[in-house]
Amino acid sequence: MRSTIKLIINRFCQLLVLPMAITCWLETRLTSHSEAIFSFWTHTVSIFPGLPGVFLRRAFYSLTLEKCSLNAYIGFGTIFAHRSTVVEDNVYTGIYCSIGSAHLGKNSLIGSHSSLLSGNTQHTRNEVNGEWMAFSAENIKRIDVAENVWIGEGAIILASIGKGSLVAAGAVVNTNVKANIVVAGNPARFVKSFEPIAPALTPEQKLSEAVLTSQPEV
């Protein structure tokens, strides 16, 4: 019953934000690189408060991002900057997050005030005159945040994070992070590893194990 009510609310919110999504679709037809209209609406939906805001943001992004699960939680003030982002099931983003082009894996937790930038090559330096070049869509690189990742509050992420890893609050990640480790600091450095989690046993395996343990020693 609860899941049915949630589905109805999600679909209703999708109808509410459909005019916004249509303008974004038209923008993609007119120009492949511009995201000005999309950016306008992302800032607009980010400031809707409370639970209604969560539903409206989720509905909007489900219609405009490459993929956004209707089971995701998107906090107040959080902005997705690029349509190329993928948000899988049970992703949680806290308040005031800034997310560029990224793939957010299932069950990942993004702490409040975190920034996930579109790689570390968005701005290049002109070696002739020393000037830094302005942002270019051609330099966007999608980062990958794998399943079951926890990114602490205020972290800055410029590279991909492996499955099951933890990024400490305030860390600055500028190189790829391996799976099942903890990193912290600026720049982020290895702290420790997590023990690998054993896969769940099937009913047949559980029965076989119970039989073996119940047999008397010879």
Cβ atoms of 96 and 77 within 8 Å: the answer is: yes
Cβ atoms of 174 and 135 within 8 Å: the answer is: no
Question: What residues are paired with 115 via a beta bridge?
Answer: 98, 156
Cβ atoms of 141 and 121 within 8 Å: the answer is: yes
Cβ atoms of 180 and 188 within 8 Å: the answer is: no
Residues of the chain with pLDDT under 50: 218
By residue count, the chain amounts to 218
Q: What is the pTM for the complete model shown?
A: 0.81
**The pLDDT value given to residue 215:** 58
Cβ atoms of 64 and 82 within 8 Å: the answer is: no
Which one, of 83, 52, 89, 87, lies nearest residue 68 by Cα? 87
Sorted by where each starts, the structural domains of the chain and their CATH numbers stand as: 97-218 (2.160.10.10)
Question: What residues are paired with 87 via a beta bridge?
Answer: 68, 104
**HEC states along 79-147?**
EECCCCCEECCCCEECCCCEECCEEECCCCEECCCCEECCCCCCCCECCCCCCECCCCHHHCCCEEECC
Which one, of 25, 33, 36, lies nearest residue 139 by Cα? 33
Backbone conformation region of residue 39, classed left if phi is above 0, alpha if psi is from -120 to 50, else beta: alpha
Sequence-distant (≥ 6) Cβ neighbours of residue 12 within 8 angstroms: none
**The pLDDT value given to residue 87:** 96
Which one, of 66, 81, 83, lies nearest residue 27 by Cα? 83
